């Protein structure tokens, strides 16, 4: 496979590909110091696949018999396992997919004169047959038809690689039909409901399959796959300022398992994205080894060495995203809004989201398929009950935080609103969207995300248990050019309820004359501008991130602020969060404006005005914000911009932003 590419790379090992070749040979040196188990361990064996591929590629490029004998040592161990996978779906899931792919590449690159060639092909035939038969028999359930999920992409790519190696066209045909559906059903905006960590784990397999398809069948599907064409933008906008850490919506083992140099290289080459080339180089030079050793995702980034080499295109110059990428972004399928004051380490950033389970396209398409065919296709277990929640980071630290990874997913583990102490209906389980009514959807509306500002409203009332009678729960978030947050929560129910605002932090929250979030060099003042009762709590979250390793546990402690309006059919909560330096803090300045219509917050150098339900703003407030001159005795105004109702106005010392 990739014969032309291999010849080109071989010619450039001492020149244009020298850095990538060094990565590959260092990875092969590492394998030489390890002892692969002779009996199947309780944990995952996915790492055997790329181990075989790395060593086989090094041999194919150099002819060094040492690489060939080392590959034989690892391949022999993999062949010796009666089953691929032990604790969960042996032969039928991720372990089988990873090993089929890596060992199929190794079989081709090592050649027919490899001492274990026949034995290896026989094992590929056995394991490929097992995986293929499972895919056929389980169609309509689990990964065989879960088009938006990493298990689908990994297993079918492994099956395709084995099919190409062995000439099993029924395997490659089935994989091609699957991916034809996948690229049609994935969101065109490139957003991934599984979150950044599973993005870096799963999305490289989409690129791997398209690469195999083009090499083996001459089919170029790169432009056809709009998800891949646009997904780097999603990943970039989920970088915390400074690029090293990631925003951790969805199941995220940690905040450092978000980069794939190999995938950045492929996206850069396939779609001519200079920013992806730049980020690949930044990660390679500054972040790679920290991620390699701090990451909770296995097998991690180190085994991708062979792809980093094969996918590197030196003809594309890198482009610094800080010079080209927008400071605000909106991904409508996932209802994801981001805004930041800059890309540097000291900048402030917010990420705010609300969408149906799996995102709009997955929700609509899966319900249609399931209704028409009697299938179960969504598999959105990595998507949290987090619509209306947000993450805030500033000065290199996370202030308002997400839970990360959990098996028992709850809205109360996010920065959301509880109603009578309860979160979403049918939560407290792994897949909180499984089997719930089609109508139970959250939505993001009234979105304006431009030039480092943002305004959006998450409508989430439908997500709560019907017996609570919640008729309205709208959260409006405004991010100002100065990096401040204004949150307006408007709540209503058929009978009196307790409405509890939650705010989670990594470190204990300070309560006193002012409420302060502190982490590292960052701090944020929290002020409530409506009456409520404030108390502190501790929230514990536990997860097993992989069924293939039952004994693995991730635990996390969050420090939680709980602010409650008691026993009311309606409640309005107006909250501000002002980031500042923890080392040299400036005092909070947020103050609520006394308006006849709408809501207003003024800071020392910024003012935020929000319209009421009728779209009306106090005329004097509009005058103050826009420097207009009102007529004497002017009545309340319904502000308009180009015939559309204005939802908010942000005024700074330098500009006025109408939203």
Q: Which two tokens stand for residue 345?
A: 């380490």
Looking at the DSSP assignment, which residues form a beta bridge with residue 517? 524
- Unique residue bearing structure tokens 């917050």: 601
pLDDT grade for 624, boundaries at 50, 70 and 90: low
For 194-219, the pLDDT digits (tens) are 999 999 999 999 999 999 999 999 99
Lowest mean pLDDT among 405-419, 513-527, 566-580, 613-627: 613-627
**What pLDDT does 548 receive?**
65
Lowest mean pLDDT among 1-15, 334-348, 379-393, 413-427: 1-15
**What pLDDT does 631 receive?**
41
For 87-97, the pLDDT digits (tens) are 889 999 999 99
pLDDT at 653 over 80: no
Q: Which two tokens stand for residue 254?
A: 């940690």
Nearest-angstrom CA–CA distance, 251 and 197: 7
pLDDT at 641 over 60: no
Q: Which two tokens stand for residue 460?
A: 């989430």
**What pLDDT does 635 receive?**
46
Average pLDDT value for residue range 360-376: 97
This prediction's pTM: 0.95
**What pLDDT does 102 receive?**
98
Q: Which two tokens stand for residue 248?
A: 């951790």
**What pLDDT does 415 receive?**
98
**Which of 645, 659, 644 minimizes the C-alpha distance to 607?**
659
Average pLDDT over the chain, rounded to an integer? 94
pLDDT at 640 over 80: no
- Unique residue bearing structure tokens 């060992």: 103
Nearest-angstrom CA–CA distance, 460 and 470: 10
The percentage of the chain sitting over the pLDDT mark of 90, rounded to a whole number, equals: 86
For every residue of 639-656, DSSP letters joined together read -EETTEE--EEEEESS-E
For 231-267, the pLDDT digits (tens) are 999 999 999 999 999 999 999 989 999 999 999 999 9
**What pLDDT does 646 receive?**
65
Average pLDDT value for residue range 598-602: 95
The domain locations on the chain are 191-322, 328-588, 589-658
Nearest-angstrom CA–CA distance, 204 and 234: 15
Nearest-angstrom CA–CA distance, 390 and 635: 36
DSSP state of 129: H
What is the number of residues in the chain?
659
Task: Report whether 486 contacts 608 (CB < 8 A).
Answer: yes
For 273-315, the pLDDT digits (tens) are 999 999 999 999 999 999 988 887 889 999 999 999 999 999 9
pLDDT grade for 643, boundaries at 50, 70 and 90: very low
**What pLDDT does 634 receive?**
45
Average pLDDT value for residue range 26-46: 95
Element (H, E) at 557: strand 554-581
Burial of 175 (0-12, 13-18, 19+ CB in 10 A): buried
CATH number for 328-588 (one of 2.70.98.70, 3.40.605.10, 3.30.70.1560, 3.40.640.10): it is: 2.70.98.70
Nearest-angstrom CA–CA distance, 560 and 409: 17
Classify 199 as helix, strand or coil. Answer: helix
């Amino acid at each position: 496979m990739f014969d032309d590419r291999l010849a080109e790379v071989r010619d450039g090992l001492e020149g244009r590909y020298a850095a990538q070749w060094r990565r590959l040979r260092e990875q092969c040196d590492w394998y030489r110091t390890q002892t692969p188990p002779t009996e199947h361990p309780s944990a995952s064996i996915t790492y055997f696949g790329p181990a075989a591929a790395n060593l086989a590629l090094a041999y194919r490029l150099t002819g060094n018999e040492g690489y060939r004998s080392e590959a034989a040592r690892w391949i022999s161990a993999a062949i010796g396992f009666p089953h691929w996978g032990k604790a969960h779906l042996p032969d039928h899931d991720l372990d089988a997919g990873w090993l089929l792919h890596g060992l199929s590449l190794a079989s081709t690159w090592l050649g027919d004169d490899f001492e274990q060639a026949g034995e290896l092909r026989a094992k590929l035939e056995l394991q490929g047959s097992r995986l293929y038969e499972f895919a056929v028999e389980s169609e309509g359930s689990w990964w065989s038809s879960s088009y938006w999920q990493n298990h689908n992409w990994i297993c079918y790519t492994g099956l395709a690689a084995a099919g190409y190696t062995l000439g099993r066209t029924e395997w490659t045909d089935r994989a091609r039909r699957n991916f034809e559906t996948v690229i049609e059903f994935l969101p065109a905006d490139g957003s991934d409901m599984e979150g950044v960590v599973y993005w870096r784990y799963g999305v490289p397999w989409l690129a791997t399959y398209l690469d195999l398809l083009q090499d083996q069948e001459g089919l170029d599907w790169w432009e056809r796959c709009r998800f891949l064409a646009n997904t780097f933008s999603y990943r970039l906008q989920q970088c915390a300022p400074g690029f090293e850490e990631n925003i951790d919506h969805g199941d995220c083992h940690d905040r450092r398992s978000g980069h794939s140099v190999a995938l950045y290289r492929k996206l850069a080459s396939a779609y001519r994205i200079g920013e992806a080339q730049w980020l690949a180089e930044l990660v390679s030079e500054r972040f790679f080894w920290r991620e390699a050793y701090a990451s909770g995702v296995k097998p991690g980034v180190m085994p991708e060495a062979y792809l980093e080499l094969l996918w590197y295109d030196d003809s594309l110059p890198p482009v610094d995203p800080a010079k080209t990428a927008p400071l605000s972004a909106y991904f409508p399928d996932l209802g994801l809004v981001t805004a930041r004051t800059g890309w540097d380490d000291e900048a402030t950033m917010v990420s705010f989201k609300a969408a149906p389970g799996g995102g709009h396209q997955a929700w609509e398409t899966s319900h249609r398929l399931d209704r028409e065919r009697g299938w179960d296709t969504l598999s959105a277990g990595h998507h949290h009950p987090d619509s209306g929640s947000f993450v805030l980071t500033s000065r290199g630290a996370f202030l308002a935080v997400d839970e990360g990874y959990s098996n028992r997913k709850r809205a109360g583990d996010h920065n959301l609103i509880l109603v009578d102490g309860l979160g979403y209906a049918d939560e407290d389980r792994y897949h909180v969207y499984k089997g719930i009514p089609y109508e139970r959807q959250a939505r993001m509306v009234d979105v304006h995300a431009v030039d480092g500002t943002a305004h959006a409203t998450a409508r989430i009332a439908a997500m709560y248990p019907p017996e609570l009678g919640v008729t309205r729960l709208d959260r409006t978030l405004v991010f100002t050019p100065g990096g401040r947050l204004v949150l307006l929560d408007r709540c209503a129910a058929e009978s009196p309820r307790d409405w509890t605002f939650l705010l989670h932090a990594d470190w204990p929250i300070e309560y006193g004359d002012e409420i302060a979030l502190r982490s590292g060099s960052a701090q944020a003042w929290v002020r409530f501008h409506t009456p409520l009762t404030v108390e502190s709590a501790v929230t514990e979250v536990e997860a097993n991130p992989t069924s293939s390793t039952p004994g693995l546990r991730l635990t996390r402690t969050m420090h939680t602020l709980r602010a409650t309006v008691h026993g009311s059919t309606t409640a309005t909560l107006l909250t501000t969060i002002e980031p500042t330096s923890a080392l040299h803090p400036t005092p909070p300045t947020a103050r609520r404006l006394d308006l006849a219509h709408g809501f207003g917050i003024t800071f020392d150098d910024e003012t935020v005005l929000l319209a009421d339900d009728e779209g009306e703003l106090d005329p004097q407030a509009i005058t103050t914000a826009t420097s207009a001159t009102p007529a004497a005795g002017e009545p309340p105004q319904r502000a308009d911009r180009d015939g559309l109702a204005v939802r908010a106005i942000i005024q700074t010392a330098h500009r006025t932003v109408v939203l």
